[in-house]
Amino acid sequence: MLADRFGESDLAGHLVPLAAWRPYPRASDRDGWGDLEPARAAALVAAGEARLSQPWPVLLASVFAEFRRTGNRSHWEQPQFARRSMLSDLVLAECVEGRGRFLDAITDGVWLICEESFWGVSAHNWGKRWPDSLLPDTAERIIDLFAGETGGLLAWTLYLLGDQLTAVHPVITDRIRRELDERIITPYLERDDFGWMGLQGGWVNNWNPWCASNCLTVALLAEQDEPRRGAAAAKTLRIIERFVAMYHADGGCDEGTSYWGRAGASFFDCLDLLDSATAGWLNVWSDPLVGNMGRYLYRCHIDRDWYVNFADGGARVGVEAPLLCRYGRKIGDSALVDLGVYADHLRRAGHEPPLRITSMGRRLPELFDCPELAGEPRPAPYIAAAWLDGIEMLTARSEPGSAQGLFLAAKGGHNAESHNHNDVGQFIVFQHGQPAIIDLGVETYTAHTFSPRRYEIWTMQSAWHNLPTLGGVQQSAGRQFAAREVSAQVDDDRAELRLDLAGAYPTEAGLRAWHRTTRLERGDQPRVVVHDTFELAEPREVQLSVILAREPRLTPTGCDLAGEAPLSIAWPTGVLNASIEAVEVTDDRLRPVWGERVWRLLLTTTGAVERGDWTMTVG
C-alpha cells in the first residue's frame, strides 16, 4: 500500500527541506499567531500563566522502581506526564504572547526533561543487560510510546521557539538536538528490533503508528542532515506498512474504540505529516482502507461520549474532535466531520469532561486547521447499522439518525485480539443512549494487566461478559479459541449476527456447538433477541451471565431494569433459575463510567442438561 507505491529515492526527492518546511507558524511569525480567535488566545496565555506558579514535579528512582516491586505504574506516570503538560502549555502561551515572559520556565522544563535518565515509563523498562532491573539502563536508548511522545514535544518546542531559546543561550537548542538524536533519531534509524516496528516479524498494534508518528515528527523537525531525514521518512513507511498488514479491509480496530485515537488516528498522523512534508506528493486519502479506519469511530458511536467498548476500550471515550474533523475532511467523509463537530460542541456545553490534548502535534492543528469547529453545532451521524466482517463486529440502532430507541453491538472474533478479553459472542444493549446490558471494560492498568496472569482479572473473563459458563468452564485465551460459522444480515427491518461460539471454549467444556443469533428488530416495538441453541457431550450445569448497568428487579417472566424508561429482559423462567449479584465498583478507571455498582444477572439451568434452545428478549 505504501512502500511499494512510494519508493525511498522518490520520497527523499519530494521531501521539502528542513529549512523550507513550515507546517505551522513559528513563534516569530507574529501575524500567524495573531490570527487566533481572541478568546482562544487568551485561554492559552491563561493556561501558561497558571503553570508559572506551579513547581515542576520531582521524579524519584524509588517511585520508578514501584512497578517492579508492587505493580503500580501510575505513581511514576502522573508526575512524568505532568511535566510534559506543563511544558506544552508554557510553549503555546509564549507563542501567543511573544514577549519572552515564559522562556525561563520553558528552559526549566526543557532542561529537566533532557536530564531525565529515561523518557519512557516504568512499565516499559526493557533493557537487555538487566531485563529485571528496577531502574532503566541509561546506556541503552529504548523508544517506547512515551519516549516518542517526549521526543515529539521537544521537537515541536525546537521548531516553534528555537530562535528565542537560542537567544537565551545556544546551549539550550544544542542540547535539545543532541538528546533527540541520541534518544530517538539514531536508534530509530539503526535498530530494527523494537517489537512495535514489526520489521522482524510478529504482531503489531497501536504502538506501531503511535511510536512511528513521533519518531517521524522528530526526524522531520530536528534532523539537519537531509539524507538521514529522508531515511527516517522512508523507514516510517516500512514500519506503518506492517500496521496496515494487520488490518482487515473493514478498518476495524480490534483494540477497542478508546485505542483508535492511537491506532487508526496515529496512522493518520503519519500520513498527514508525510503529506505535508512532501507538499502533497504522498497522498493516499482515497485508499479504501484509510477511509474505513476513520469511519470505524462513528460506526461504534452510541450517543454523546458512549462508544462500543469491546476489549480494553473504554465505554466513555473523550474523542479528539479536531482530529476527527481533519481526518473526515481528508477522506471526504462528512459523517466523520459531523461527529467531530458534535463532540466539540458537547464538550463546550459542559456535557462531557474537557479533553486534554497533550500531544503538541495535535494541539497545533486544533489551532490552525479546524475551521469546522467555529461553525454551528451538528448532529452525530447515528448511522443505522454497520457490519465489519473482518473483526466480526455488528452495530445497529432501532431509530437511525437518533439516539432514541435501542442500540445493539455484538461480536465474534477470537481470543487473541489486541488487548483481548475472552469475549467471543459478547453483545451490549443501550436504550435511549444510556447503558443497559454492558461490557465492563478494563480496570486501571497494573503489572498484572499485561502479564501471563491477565485472565485472572475478573473483567477479562467470559463469566463477566454476557456469555455462558459450562460446568464452571469459561472461554480460553488464544488465537485458536474463535467464533465459527460467522455471518450477518442487515436490512431495513433487522440486523443480526449469527455464529457458533463453541470454538472459544476448551475441550473440557464438552461443548459440541453453541449457536447464537443476536438480533435487533426494528418496528413499532423494537427489541433485541438473543437466541441460543447448544449441545454438550454430556450433561452439565449451564449458566448465562448478563452484566447490567441498571438495577434489575425480578418478575414472573424475567426482570425489569430500573430507570426513567421501562426496559425488560425476558427468558424461559421455567428452564432457568435467576439470581442477582450487586458488584461494588472500586476501581478508579471503572467508577467514573459505571458509578458505584453494577449487577450480574445469573441464569442457571435447574440441573445438568445436554442440550438447550433458549431465547432472551430485551425491550
Q: How far apart are CA 276 and CA 278, in angstroms?
A: 5
**Lowest mean pLDDT across 320-329, 347-356, 518-527:** 347-356
Query: Which CATH number does the domain 385-618 belong to among 3.40.190.10, 2.70.98.70, 1.10.260.40, 3.40.47.10?
Result: 2.70.98.70
* Structure-block grid coordinates of residue 186: 539514531
Residue 173 has pLDDT above 90, yes or no: yes
Classify residue 96 by burial, with Cβ atoms within 10 Å: 0-12, 13-18, 19+: buried
* Structure-block grid coordinates of residue 204: 503489531
Q: How far apart are CA 411 and CA 428, in angstroms?
A: 9
* Structure-block grid coordinates of residue 603: 441464569
* Coarse DSSP helix, strand, coil percentages of the chain, rounded to the nearest 5 percent: 40, 20, 40
pLDDT for position 359:
92
Gap between the terminal Cα atoms of the chain? 45
With beta carbons less than 8 A apart as the criterion, state whether 222 and 155 touch.
yes
With beta carbons less than 8 A apart as the criterion, state whether 483 and 499 touch.
yes
Q: What are the DSSP calls for 396-408, one per residue?
A: EESSTTSS-SEEE
Give the mean model confidence (pLDDT) for residues 380-409: 98
Residue bearing cell 490570527: 35
What SS3 class is residue 443? coil
HEC assignment per residue over 569-602: EECCCCCEEEEEEEEECCCCCCHHHHCCEEEEEE
Q: Tell me: the pLDDT tens digits for 424-443? A: 999 999 999 999 999 999 99
Amino acid at 443: E
Q: How far apart are CA 563 and CA 574, in angstroms?
A: 27
Element counts in the chain: helices (H) and strands (E)? 19, 21
pLDDT for position 352:
63
Confidence of residue 356 (pLDDT cuts 50, 70, 90): low
pLDDT for position 11:
93
Q: How far apart are CA 547 and CA 580, in angstroms?
A: 10
Q: Tell me: the pLDDT tens digits for 111-170? A: 999 999 999 999 999 999 999 999 999 999 999 999 999 999 999 999 999 999 999 999
Average pLDDT taken over every residue of the chain: 96
Residue 491 has pLDDT above 60, yes or no: yes
* Structure-block grid coordinates of residue 316: 466513555
DSSP 8-state symbol, 126: -
